[in-house]
Amino acid sequence: MLWTRSETIGLAKESCTHCHGYGMRAGRTGKEYPCYCVFRAIFCACYRRFRECAMKEKHLSKVSLDHCEGGRDRKYVYSRKVEDYMADFCLVSRRGLDDFDYRVFRYHFLLGADWKLCCLQMGIDRGTFFHAVYRIEQRLGRLFRELEPYGLYPLDEYFGGTMRNGEPRPAANLRVMPRRTRPVRVPVRKSA
């Protein structure tokens, strides 16, 4: 995965002491890599969308018809983007975290417990809890962006807005109208 400064600068935190708002940090070998504040911003954007999807009423969910690339045949697939996103968010998080971090993730992010309740339930102190939260945000933010072949971030690509490698395709039920080369002339009635 190639990270560029143009991708990270918009996500970086201005008050970050490591990248100073530029989004890239220099490693020990001199190679640049994304700052942790960028990963946390990616996680927060994905988590915000997850909460919006969870708050929606289920009868408002819509089915979309998506074009599926594959072979000679052009195929279309029906999908429920909201439910798919919520399932992908949970499954990728489960697979990307170890047992302790996933327990913190489940209590704090999925069930909505505050830090006091999480510390009491898990038998840990406040510092351990917040270090785990920052570690979870960094790890999942990187994972959501670098997931192959389709990442959870950027969100507009996941939900069918734009495509990173190529032009966006029109939806299956829309017809593209040909461009007119001549201007349209409206007939005007002469007044008597």
Comparing CA positions, the residue from 17, 109, 6 lying closest to residue 54 is 109
Of these ranges, 74-78, 145-149, 179-183, the one predicted with the greatest mean pLDDT is: 145-149
Which is more confident, 70 or 165?
A: 70
How do residues 28-44 score in pLDDT, each as one tens digit?
887 888 888 999 999 99
Size (the chain), residues = 192
Structure tokens at 110: 């999925």
Mean pLDDT in the chain? 81
Check residue 172 and report its DSSP letter: T
For 123, phi then psi, to 5°, come to 70, 40
Backbone angles phi, psi at 189, to 5 degrees: -80, 135
pLDDT band per the 50, 70, 90 thresholds, residue 166: very low
In 3D space, the residue among 129, 126, 138 whose CA is nearest the CA of residue 103 turns out to be 129
Domains of the chain: which residue ranges? 5-158
182 has pLDDT over 70: no
Block residue for tokens 């988590």: 47
Contact between 133 and 113 (Cβ < 8 Å) = no
Residue 5 has pLDDT above 90, yes or no: no
Percent of the residues in the chain that have a pLDDT greater than 90, as a whole number? 39
Proportion of the chain in helix, strand, coil states, percent, rounded to 5: 45, 10, 45
DSSP string covering 140-175: HHHHHHH-SSS-S-SHHHHTTS--SSSPPPPPTT--
Give the other-Cβ count within 10 Å of 186's Cβ: 5
